[in-house]
Structure formats: structure tokens, C-alpha cells
Structure 1
Amino acid sequence: MSQSLIVFDASGVVRYQYNNKTNPFNDFIYAIANDTVLYHDSNFISFKSNQRKFYSIKRDKLYTALYFEVVTTIDQEKIRQTLNDVLKTYLKLTENDEDSSKLKKLIDYQFNQLMQYKQQVKAVDNPSSASPINSGTSTPKKTHVTNSKKKMRKWDNGEMVEDGVDESILDYSESKEGSVGPSDNTQQLKVDLSSFSHQDDLILVNELNDILDDSEDDETTQDGSSKSKGVSSFFNKLSSYFGSTVDIQEITKKFQDQLVSKNIHPATSKLILERINNKFGNKTQVTPKEYKDVLVEELTKILTPNVSTDLLYDIKGRNNQRPYVISVVGVNGVGKSTNLAKLAYWFLQNNLNVLICACDTFRSGAVEQLKVHVNNLKTLNNSTSKIDIFEKGYGGGDHVVTTAKLAINHAQQESYDIVLIDTAGRTHSNAKLMTPLKKFGDAANPDKIIMVGEALVGTDSIDQAINFNNAFGNRRNLDFFIISKVDTVGDLVGTMINMVMATKVPILFMGTGQTYTDIKRLNIKRIVDMLTN
């Protein structure tokens, strides 16, 4: 791990350095000078070179930068905050001619705090960490206590292996005294059935309408665009600024800034707008409305599925004794288990028998979390369908594959229609953690693989989507996305464009809350309006 940080000016002269390791920054400074870096916004910059990831904040004519020699699991916002604080400290103390030892002490402290945070994050992500990860769901305490000291599971050559674990502690495959009962989290047991609609003999998930912003506060202008009361929309401001016609390059720059401000990756927005400019051919002047209409058409085409998302028809229309198998994957903490439970509730409403398979056999409490969900769903289930959990406790290596195969066989014998397989969260940039997915996919051979991605993640969503899409080998890809936590981002919905455009994988649902009916189908027109107005 690198522990190097510098402050340098626009000419490349280093003004401050944490240690003597400044040579690796030469490539980064050269990339800034040649504008080949990635601008997350006007001030925050990143760059990859020689297995290093550089990050920088620019202010006035000064930059502060650091790098990591391996892929870091620190979120970019934490890095941005630290770099910003370091640069503020440098500017303030140098302007006031403070003692250099004070400057060094403060900057070193800020940087070391980030390094300590990195170690904490690594301890959580590292399978050998002894600290359990909070599942986000209330899990009752186990009553069978033992005095034997438990060693933890770890990854070895892409496989999870036990490190001297007492399996009697970890095995929950048999019911025991103090087994997990209904959740104390009553919020999840409050469901809003208006989230669903009836069509023929099916229960369908409704489209997203007013989760992201209040539709009652919207007005419609004469050209059909929307604006919020009291606040002019981007397009209305643009039309007022430019008037009738405008140079196509100038309006392209305005729309690129707009798309980036909505969390669309700069490179992705550039590609989209290049396609639009190609459609105009040799034209150099366009009206704002002409340009927006073509952009709306392009964004709509990107988000429109090129495969059928009628999952219910696919499930009910198959003539196969094997149950329909769906596997849910994603990075740590995005809400895989919660959204899997939402899918299960929707299937129950459609009178389908659901077996949930606990194949997150690594994360502490993962099996218990699913048990809580299953007990909640049993309580809420008012249909003739059934739901249960299949689990074989915790284990490593081939344990996950064996559990999945046994679950599918059990589901076939007991006439379950669907098997929903939960999987361990994993860092998308860690090849050792991603490698076992192919082995799992080949063995379980799921009918559909769904990745849960966060609406909050921003531009990193591209790497996440691509890495998971490629993880299952040449013969398999992701089939759908579920975008979680959409209710937290307002109109900054660019993550959806990033993931779909990078992989050509359609969005099945969006997670919009914590209860089992908090899922919505994608309303493409609504999303496109948010991106362009």
C-alpha cells in the first residue's frame, strides 16, 4: 500500500510531499497537462497507470494528489473529502506564513486518518476479518453459546476455506433452540399493495411515477417539457439563453455538463452526444428543441430493453420440471438480500412457490438475515403459495456450489416453482473474490442472473457492471439489473444510463424503500425527463 501524497502547482512543481516517493506522480502530472485524466467533476480527478490509481483535487492553480498501489476499497467521496481538507489546510497555513512544522503535522494527520480508514475498510472487506458486517436487518441473538474460540473463514486462491472453524458453532442447517423467528422490524411488515396492479391473472409491479420527486409540483410547458414550480428547468434556461438557433458544439457542451451533473460518467455522456452530433450530419446550427428531441430519442433507446423483461410470462410459460432458478449478485452492502426478498414477495402474490437458497455462506449473519426475511414473508403471505429457506450453514470452497445444487434438487422434489439464490457480496475490483462466480454459475446454471446495483454509486457503476457481467465467463452474462436505493438520489439517476450502456443489460426493477412492496418498474419517459430537464 502506498502512503504518498503531494501538493503541486499547475507547472508541476511539488510544493509539499508526505514522503520522498514522488516519482510515481510524474505520469499523473503529465496526464493532467495533456488532459487525459478522468474528471468526476470540475475539481475531482482520477487516473490509472501502472497498477496505480491516482486521485486529485484542484483548487485555484494548486493540486493535491495521492495514489494507491493496489485497488482501494475506500469510496471516492472519502478520498475527495480528505484531499479537499488537505488543500484547504495547505492554502490557509501558507497564506498566513504559519510554521512549517505545524503545516506538516496537520496534513500528515489528515492523510494518516485516511490510511487508518483504509485499514478499517480492508478489515471489513477481508474475509479473515473477525468483525461481523451489519446486515441492515434485525437478527435475533443466538442462544447456543460456546466457550470455544472461533477462527474465521478466509479466501485462498479464489476459494473460501475454513480456518479452523468449529462447525458446530456455524452450522444452522438443523433447527435449534433459539432459532430465528419473525423480525422485530415492523416496518418491513407494512406493505402497500397499491404498488401492484392486476392484469389478467397476473400481479404486476407498477411503474415509477412519483418516488423520485413530487409529480404534483410539476408543470408542463408548451413544448411538452416539465419544470418545477418556482424553479426553471435546465432546458427552459437553455432555451432562454440561446434563443432560436445555436452552434451545435456550444449546445453539446451545455448538454454534456447537464448529463454529468446527473451522475452520467463523462466518457459515457461524451459518447452519447457524439452519436447525436453524427445524426445531425454537417449541420452547424440547431435549435435547443431539435437537439433535445434527438437526445431524448437516444436516451430512450438506451434504456429500452432489447430483451423481454416479462419475467412472469417466462416463468409461467415454461414446460420444465426443473424449478426456475434466479441468482442475485452484487457488491457488498447494495441490498441483495432485501431485494431478493422483494422479488420473493412479488412471486408469492402471483401464486408461485418460492424457495430461497442461502448461498452467502461467508458473511456473518447472512443465513440468519434470510431466515428473518422468510419468516416475515410467511407472516405476510395471504396466498395459497408457499415459501421457505434452504440452507446448509456456513462453509467454504465447494460448500456454496453443493448448497445450490441441493437446493435445486429439493425444490424440484417439493414442487417449488422458483429458487432464489442469494450470494456473497464481493468487491468487483478484486479478481480473487470474483473468480468463484464462474464456478458457481456453471454449477447452478441459473435461468437468470440479476445484479443489484446502487443508484448512489455514481460513475463507479460502470466498472461494477462490466466486472460482474464478465465474471461468469464467455457463455453467460447478467440478465437484469435491479437498481437499489433509487429513493435517495432525487433526479441524479445517471447510474442507470452508465450500467445499461456499459453492458446492454436491461433494468428489471428499481428498489425504492425498505418494505417488501418498495419496488418499481422503470418508467423510461420519467427517467429521460429527469436527465434532460
Structure 2
Amino acid sequence: MINEKNKKKIGFFNYLKKKLIKTSKNISKEIFNLFKKKNNINEKLFNKLQEKLIISDVGIHTTKKIINLTKKYVKLNNLENSSQLYKYIKAEMLKILLPVEIPLNINNNKKPFIILIIGVNGVGKTTTIGKLAYYFYKKQKSVLLASGDTFRAGAHEQLFSWSKKSNSFFMYNSKKKDSSAIIFDAISKAKKEKIDILIADTSGRLHNNFLLMEELKKITRVIKKNNNMIINEIMLIIDSNIGQNSINQLKTFHDNIGITGITITKIDGTAKGGIIFSLANEFNIPIRYLCCGEKITDLYLFNAKDFINAIFTD
């Protein structure tokens, strides 16, 4: 018999499959079509596999890793036809994702649990903050949203709107133009009122803008000065549509301030969801959540096995 928990799990899996259908077509079906016939295993076959993976934004380094492992597997097992490789490649791609399947642990004796949200403009930072706030609210946690985006017009109004939707508190001081000062005050408020989680928004910035990156460093320094508070999570929001450019973004942000977690947005709107394999393989930074849709509930814990099963059709 299928209990209610399993029903819910199956329902989510089917939903995820629908959301990842573009990525599935680009990765799974292309590879399946390549291997469904008993073709001879040769260099031509591996070149075609490499092409399929790169087109799906798996990335050159990760693609080479998969190709090399597959070649070794073929040699070790004396395989002769390609139909035997599909399940092996699926298993190897799962191995790439499993080490980054680390959920965010918000259980912290010292309140508030501080999450600093960063990312370039247009990746869906503010929307993700709203989804996160609602996600934690449903877990019976009190949440304060700190509006530290002092550059984008309408940023405060948008975040305030999300605070109402997510039943969260909101903090912004129009007299202060320095985002670190706003976030400092928000921490003080959260401590005084014993709020569980503080989610701090920051200005969207190009990862190669030196001055904006220095401001981000300042925010981290100021937070630490507030009664020796620590930033529990520095979360980078990545838009899956930008493909390999997200590698450059993650590298620059991580080198400058140290990223502790990643949330990937718009995964349902791209055929290049293969970027997730590059991110996992090259950085080994936890992938916390996936955003698939525009509703406030469209935020999901990243699960490597579910992701693989949703994009690979056996």
C-alpha cells in the first residue's frame, strides 16, 4: 500500500519531471537516442556524447570527466555495444550531484540565523527571498526580511510585498543609504525581538564590478561586528538560463566572500539545466534549493536522486 507520505513524494516527483522537461529532452533523450541502438563503441560515439553534453551546458571539464570515466568502464568490462552505457552514465552523473545535496540546517541556538542573499541583477533574488521566507514560515519559524538593496528602484517595495505574502517581518530605513547599516540595524531588531531567521537582501551586482564587490565585503564585516554575530549562510542565487557564465559568477563571488550555499532559479524555463553538473563538479558547494515556477510555494529542497530520475527516462 502507498501511504500519504509516499503519495506526496510521487506527486512531487511527477511535478518535477514536468518542470524539467526541457532539460530532460536536451540531456536524457539525446543520450538515450545515441545509445538505444547497439552501435559499436568507438571514438566517434564518444565525440557525439561529448557534443550532447556540452550543448546541454554540462561544461567542458565535467564532460571530459564523464567521457574519461565511461572509457575506463568500457575497457574494464570489455563492452562492445553502446546500449550498455546509458545506465552507467546516469549513475556517474548522479555521483557528481550527491556530494552537494546538503540541506540548509537552520536549527541554531543563537538567534537570529542570518542568511545573506547575493547575486547579479535579474537572477530572481527578491522572488527567491519571498519563497524562502514562506518556506521557513511554514516550518513555524519567525522571519525578518532586511531590505539591503539600495540601488535598484522599487526594491524595497517589492521586498515589502513579499514580506506580507510570506507572513514575515520587514526592515528598511529610508534615511540610510548604506546597505551594511540597514542590515546591522535589522540584526539588532531580530536579536531584540528573538526572531528566528534574518534574510538580508543585497544590491544586484555584476560579479566583475570591483566597487560593488568591496561593498559586499563591507556588509560581511559589519555583520560580524554586531556582537560577534556570524553569517550562517552566504547564499548565491544563480539563474540557470545563463549557462556557463554562472561558473564565472560563482568563482568570483566565492573567491571574494566565500559562498556557503547555492539556490538555482528558473530551472523549469531552460533546456540547459546541465549547468548544475558543472557547478557541482567544479566547486563542490552545497546546492540548497531549486526554484521551479513563480508561485510562493515553488521552492524545493535539492535532491540529487530526484533530479536525475526526473531528467533521465529509462
TM tier, smaller: 0.7 to 0.9
Q: 495, 520, 531: which is aligned to 2:300?
A: 520
Report the Cα distance in structure 1 between the residues aligned to 2:99 and 2:217, rounded to whole angstroms. 25
> Partner of 1:305 in structure 2?
99
Q: Contact 2:234/2:261 (CA < 8 Å) preserved in 1? A: yes
Query: Is residue 233 from structure 1 mapped to residue 29 from structure 2 by the alignment?
Result: yes
In the superposition, the TM-score normalised over structure 2's length comes to: 0.83
Q: Contact 2:146/2:199 (CA < 8 Å) preserved in 1? A: yes
Q: Structure 2 unaligned runs (5+)?
A: 224-229
Deviation at 1:289, TM superposition (A): 4.1
Q: Structure 1 unaligned runs (5+)?
A: 1-196, 218-225, 379-386
Q: Contact 2:37/2:82 (CA < 8 Å) preserved in 1? A: no
Report the Cα distance in structure 2 between the residues aligned to 1:390 and 1:214, rounded to whole angstroms. 34
Q: 238, 252, 261: which is aligned to 1:480?
A: 261
**As a proportion of its length, which structure holds more strand?**
1
Give the residue type in structure 2 aligned to 1:277. K
Q: Contact 1:360/1:366 (CA < 8 Å) preserved in 2? A: yes
> Partner of 1:443 in structure 2?
222
Q: 334, 346, 360: which is aligned to 2:149?
A: 360
Query: Is residue 496 from structure 1 mapped to residue 281 from structure 2 by the alignment?
Result: no
Deviation at 1:358, TM superposition (A): 0.8
Paired residue total: 297
> Partner of 2:246 in structure 1?
461
Q: Cα RMSD over matched residues?
A: 3.0
Q: 319, 329, 335: which is aligned to 2:109?
A: 319
* 3-state DSSP of counterpart to 2:128: helix
Q: Contact 1:329/1:425 (CA < 8 Å) preserved in 2? A: yes
Q: Contact 2:100/2:280 (CA < 8 Å) preserved in 1? A: no
Which runs of structure 2 are paired with 1:3-18 in the superposition (5 Å)?
A: none
Q: 18, 41, 52: which is aligned to 1:213?
A: 18
Give the residue type in structure 1 aligned to 2:276. M
Report the Cα distance in structure 2 between the residues aligned to 1:254 and 1:426, rounded to whole angstroms. 38
Query: Is residue 407 from structure 1 mapped to residue 186 from structure 2 by the alignment?
Result: yes
Deviation at 1:510, TM superposition (A): 1.1
Report the Cα distance in structure 1 between the residues aligned to 2:159 and 2:243, rounded to whole angstroms. 28
Query: Is residue 251 from structure 1 mapped to residue 251 from structure 2 by the alignment?
Result: no
* 3-state DSSP of counterpart to 2:174: coil
> Partner of 1:21 in structure 2?
none
Report the Cα distance in structure 2 between the residues aligned to 1:423 and 1:464, rounded to whole angstroms. 16
* 3-state DSSP of counterpart to 1:369: helix
- CA deviations 1:87-121 (Å, max 9, x no partner) are xxxxxxxxxxxxxxxxxxxxxxxxxxxxxxxxxxx
In the superposition, the TM-score normalised over structure 1's length comes to: 0.51
User: CA, structure 1 residues 471+253, in 2 after alignment: closer, same or farther (shift >3 Å)?
Assistant: same
Give the residue type in structure 2 aligned to 1:304. L
Quick check: which has more Rg, 1 or 2? 1
> Partner of 2:227 in structure 1?
none
User: CA, structure 1 residues 198+526, in 2 after alignment: closer, same or farther (shift >3 Å)?
Assistant: closer
Deviation at 1:434, TM superposition (A): 1.9
* 3-state DSSP of counterpart to 1:326: strand
Report the Cα distance in structure 2 between the residues aligned to 1:428 and 1:395, rounded to whole angstroms. 24
Which runs of structure 2 are paired with 1:363-402 in the superposition (5 Å)?
A: 363-378=152-167, 387-393=168-174, 395-396=176-177, 399-402=178-181
Report the Cα distance in structure 2 between the residues aligned to 1:451 and 1:270, rounded to whole angstroms. 26
Query: Is residue 328 from structure 1 mapped to residue 113 from structure 2 by the alignment?
Result: no
Report the Cα distance in structure 2 between the residues aligned to 1:428 and 1:272, rounded to whole angstroms. 29
Q: 137, 145, 153: which is aligned to 1:348?
A: 137
Q: Contact 1:456/1:485 (CA < 8 Å) preserved in 2? A: yes
Which runs of structure 2 are paired with 1:82-101 in the superposition (5 Å)?
A: none
Asked which structure has the greater RCO (Cα within 8 Å, sep 6+), the reply is: 2
User: CA, structure 1 residues 435+395, in 2 after alignment: closer, same or farther (shift >3 Å)?
Assistant: same
**As a proportion of its length, which structure holds more helix?**
2
Report the Cα distance in structure 1 between the residues aligned to 2:150 and 2:67, rounded to whole angstroms. 45
Report the Cα distance in structure 2 between the residues aligned to 1:530 and 1:307, rounded to whole angstroms. 16
Fraction of identical pairs, as percent: 27
User: CA, structure 1 residues 521+207, in 2 after alignment: closer, same or farther (shift >3 Å)?
Assistant: farther
> Partner of 1:452 in structure 2?
237
